Amino acid sequence: MLAALWFVADAAEEGRNVVLSMLVVGLVFLAAIGLGELTHYLGAKRRRAKLQRPL
């Protein structure tokens, strides 16, 4: 009986680790997307400012 509980506890811990690692990977993807969008926005802003300045 104790061995069965140990396997269940071990499986629960492994499942928790899998879920946490999936969350970390998701945050990495969101950070990469956010960084790309930020650089796109800043580049467009810089191009607009460059076109509007006098020669």
Chain length of the chain? 55
pLDDT at 7: 66
Question: Per-residue pLDDT tens for 8-49?
Answer: 678 788 888 899 999 999 999 999 999 999 999 999 999 999
pTM confidence score: 0.69
Residue-range domain boundaries for the chain = 21-55
Half-sphere exposure of 17 (CA within 13 A, CB side): 6
